[in-house]
Every structure is written in C-alpha cells, then in structure tokens.
Amino acid sequence: MKTYSYRARDAAGTLREGRVSADSAQAAASQLADSGVIPLQVDEVQGGSAGSGIDLAALFERRISLDDLILFSRQMYSITKAGVPIIQGLMRLAESTPNPRFAAILKEIGRDLEGGRDISSAFARHIDVFGTLYISILRVGEMTGQIDRAFQSMYDYLQRDKVVIDRVKAAMRYPTFVIVAIGIAIGVLTVLVIPAFAGVFASTNMELPLPTRILLAISTFASAYWPLILVGLALAVFAFRRWTATDSGRLWWDRAKLRIPKVGDVLLRATLARFTRAMGVALSAGVPITQALVGVARASGNAHIADKILAMRAGVERGDSLLRTAAQAQVFTPVVLQMIAVGEETGQLDVMMLEVADFYDREVEYDIANLSAIIEPLLTVVVGIMVLVLALGVFLPMWDLTQLASRR
C-alpha cells in the first residue's frame, strides 16, 4: 500500500489533515468519505515521507502490531464499561503502552477529544492505523451511545482475526521450510559433493554420458561463482518484494498465492473467513452494508479478494442483492451462498455471515491439521526426481567404471 497525505473537512466544517494508507488515491478518498469527512486534497507521499528525503527514524520505529490493537480494544472496553472518562483512559493507556509510536497516537487522540472532536473523528485522523472498519464501528457506537460495545466488538473481531492470520502463517510455514531445505540440499550436492566425483571421472579419460556432463558443468559453474549466485538470489528476492509492494505486483502475487495447489485453497478459505467475520461484526454494529464492504475489503488482507469485495459493493449500490453479487464474485462455495440467501430472507445477514466465518474457520483448521499429509506425496516426488538426476549423472559413469575394472 501507498501512503497519502490529505486535507479534509468533517461534519462540523473543521479542517483536518493527516495521512492514510491505501492502494490508490481513489481508495484513500473513499476511506476518508466512509469515515465521515469530505476529502479536499489527497496527495501521495513520495519515499515514505512528506519531503524528498528518507525518514530514517521511521525505518527503525516499532510498528503498531495487531497485538497492540487487540490489547488496546480490550482495555478501552474495560475503561468505557467502568465509566472512566475516555480522555483520561486514553492518557493512562498512552503512559503504559510499550510502543512509543502508539503512545504518541493515543496522546494525539486525547488532545483532539479535549479540543472538541468527536470520538470517531479523532480516531479517523489515524485511519492508517485503525482502518476503515474500526472507525465505522466506533461511529455507530458513538451515535447509539454504546461506545463500550463498539470496542468490545472490535476486540472480539481482532482476536479471532489474529487466529486466522496465525493459521495462514502455519499453512505457509511447512511448504516454505520444505522448499528451503530442498534448495539447501541441492546447493550442497552441487558445490561440495559432485566436484569430488569430477576428479575421479577426469582421471579415467572416458567419455561421459550427457547427463553427467551437464551436471558437472553446472557444478563447476556453481563452485566457481557461488558468491555471485548468492548475491543474485538476494537481489532477486529484494526486487520481487519491491515489486509485490506495488499495486499491480501485489494484485498478481495475491492472485498467484490462491492458485498454489492445496495451499491456495487453504489461503482462500482463511481469507474468506476474515472477510465474512468482519462483515458480520460490521453489520451487527449497525454499519450500512455498502460502507461495511469498503471496510472489510481492506481487512481481507488479499488484493485479489479485495477487488472482488469492492465489485460486490458496486453491485449492491446498483440495487443487486448481496447474494447475486457474491455469486458473481465466484469465490464462495454453494453452501455459503445458500447461507447468505437465508440471511437476506430472514433479515439476519449479520448472524449468517458470522456462521459462514465459523464454517470457514473449521475447514481451515482441518486442512492445516492435515497439510503435512497433503504435502508429503509432493515432497516424495521431488526427492525422487533428485535421486533420479543423481543416478543418471553420477552413478551411471561409476557403473561404467566398475564394468571396465571387472574386464581388466
């Protein structure tokens, strides 16, 4: 995502300035509008700062994590539930939080409240930290006089969202470890093991098979230029990460991850679990459906799915039902579509969306528990190919040497 600086006016006509993270200037303006302010100017911040230089302090500054937001939401629920003034509670939390950046933001929110801003507007100045969904639920809680329930809803949602994120990381950890281990094994064989056989083959003056010559050529090159190979791999990884940080690169990579055999299905269900739970929480809090779709699009964590959700929002604004737009997205299973249909017919769409989230959670939990059984056959095939290559490239010449020695 990119960072944009903005100037906007709230409902009271007060001029506000700040920064917001979004995929595009249009998305940033949409986030601001959904947070209850009218954007006047939205400009991209070049190089991560307002100026032309690089903010070195920001590079080493501790980021605000999901754990910080979970703890903050829980503490704010307890504070507001107990009747402690929200400004006083924010200042106390700012003094106790171990994250300096988050502490500064809480103090700024407290000063805005002291200056007369309402709660949602004060939090909306830091929409890049809290997100559109958080601001929308706070606004509804503020309007209904149930700000404590708003913080409780966000605490429950963020806590469940963290479980899904951890499951996604667990799903990717095992295949990543397998790929890295195989890569290291190939590197050791190429640089250390095969050159030992090269000297034996060279002393025989016999014609080597084509697979052996190819294997020895690769090994010779890798042994001579392995520092350059490592530098090239590091540069390739860096370039790939920079490219996936762009809008087009991130969209391509998020779509490609969902197409990985077996693992992609797990990632898709985990992403949809995040979407449906966020949608259920937003609808339960009273957030309008079109505004909720904008908030949960960012909360999905996948640019490809976010595009699908925003397309659903456009369909709902045209007058289509959520069921029709969800079917057109072509990412939901028939069972889930049926549950959405029941929710729309009964007027309990929020409850059904939370049921869908639980449905996906159970599927993801089962898939991750059996992920090793799914990947092991693939690992066996890869190892078998490695053994075949070694057999053709190394053991065939050794067999010829054995036959030659037996004739003598």
Rounded distance between C-alpha atoms, residue 400 and residue 407, angstroms: 11
Domain-embedded: residue 7: yes
At residue 326, does pLDDT exceed 80? yes
At residue 115, does pLDDT exceed 70? yes
CB-count exposure of residue 373 (10 Å: 0-12, 13-18, 19+): exposed
Domain-embedded: residue 329: yes
Q: Which of 401, 387, 393, 388 is nearest to 214 (CA)?
A: 393
Domain count, the chain: 2
- The answer to whether the CB of 381 falls within 8 A of the CB of 308 is no
CB atoms within 10 A of CB 188: 11
Give the start-end residues of each E strand in 153-285: none
Domain-embedded: residue 229: no
Stated as kind and residue range, the H or E segment containing 147 is helix 147-188
What percentage of the chain carries pLDDT values higher than 70?
A: 84
Chain segment 174-197, per-residue pLDDT in tens: 777 877 887 787 777 777 777 777
Question: DSSP letters along 300-345, please?
Answer: T--HHHHHHHHHHHHHHHTT--HHHHHHHHT-S-HHHHHHHHHHHH
Q: Domain residues for 14? A: 1-61
- The answer to whether the CB of 119 falls within 8 A of the CB of 36 is no
Domain-embedded: residue 164: no
Domain-embedded: residue 272: yes
- The answer to whether the CB of 112 falls within 8 A of the CB of 131 is no
Stated as kind and residue range, the H or E segment containing 65 is none
Rounded distance between C-alpha atoms, residue 161 and residue 281, angstroms: 11
Give the CATH number for residue 279.
1.20.81.30
Q: Which pLDDT belongs to residue 128? A: 80
| β-bridge partners, 20 | 4
Q: Which pLDDT belongs to residue 231? A: 93
Rounded distance between C-alpha atoms, residue 82 and residue 61, angstroms: 33
Q: Which pLDDT belongs to residue 185? A: 78
Domain boundary among 36, 61, 86: 61
Domain-embedded: residue 291: yes
C-alpha angle 401-406-408 in degrees, rounded to nearest 5: 100
Domain-embedded: residue 28: yes
Chain segment 250-295, per-residue pLDDT in tens: 889 888 888 887 778 888 888 888 888 888 888 887 888 888 887 7
Q: In a 3-state reduction of DSSP, which class is residue 408?
A: coil
Domain-embedded: residue 386: no
Amino acid at 283: L
At residue 328, does pLDDT exceed 80? yes
Q: Which structure tokens are listed for 125?
A: 């100045």
- The answer to whether the CB of 294 falls within 8 A of the CB of 34 is yes
Rounded distance between C-alpha atoms, residue 228 and residue 132, angstroms: 45
At residue 59, does pLDDT exceed 70? no
